[in-house]
Amino acid sequence: MEISKKTDYALRMLAALVREPDDILSVRTAADANDVPYSFARAIQHDLVRAGIIESLRGSHGGMRLAVDPNKITLLEVVTAVQGPLTLGSCESMGPDGGICPRIGECNFNPIFCSACAIVSEFFNSVTLAQVVEGSKAPSLPERYWGVDAFVPLMRDISVDLA
């Protein structure tokens, strides 16, 4: 699992929009202010528009602005919109024909990978874009993850049932 450079750049650009919610920010300004290559920033802008996170305004005073309430969109939603679902293992594509791995039913590692993805997803889903940018709330995990024994039932619940 990796947060891509594209996602890193997208989050930097979105942070600038959250800090100036009433402004229309040019892609060039956002790129320059956040050390994002301009051509990459344009591609990211296109992806964020397609995901419905920002809107693009044309013209001499055009640019981009948020199309969502940053207090309602989670960090997980943004990351997923930019780079797709979070995955740790590739059990769904390890089979001989690109399908599910034939060993998934008896694999001891699949439940661990699935648990790790669930933990990261819940961690990213615990804060909104605005909370992260404003520093008003740090991501956290629910209490069910805090105990030493927390992962045994979690792994049992998440393991793949091929029956």
Residue-wise pLDDT tens digits, 44-98? 999 999 999 999 988 777 889 999 999 999 999 999 999 988 877 666 655 556 5
pLDDT at 28: 92
- Does any domain span residue 142? yes
CA angle 103/104/107 to nearest 5° reads 80
CB 75 within 8 A of CB 121: no
Range of the domain at 62: 5-158
Domains in the chain, number: 1
- Does any domain span residue 15? yes
Cα–Cα distance for residue pair 142/79, rounded to 1 Å: 20
Q: Which of 35, 46, 39 is nearest to 8 (CA)?
A: 35
- Does any domain span residue 163? no
pLDDT at 13: 94
Q: Which of 43, 18, 48, 17 is nearest to 30 (CA)?
A: 17
- Does any domain span residue 107? yes
- Does any domain span residue 50? yes
- Here the CATH number for the domain that contains residue 21 is 1.10.10.10
Mean pLDDT of 127-155: 78
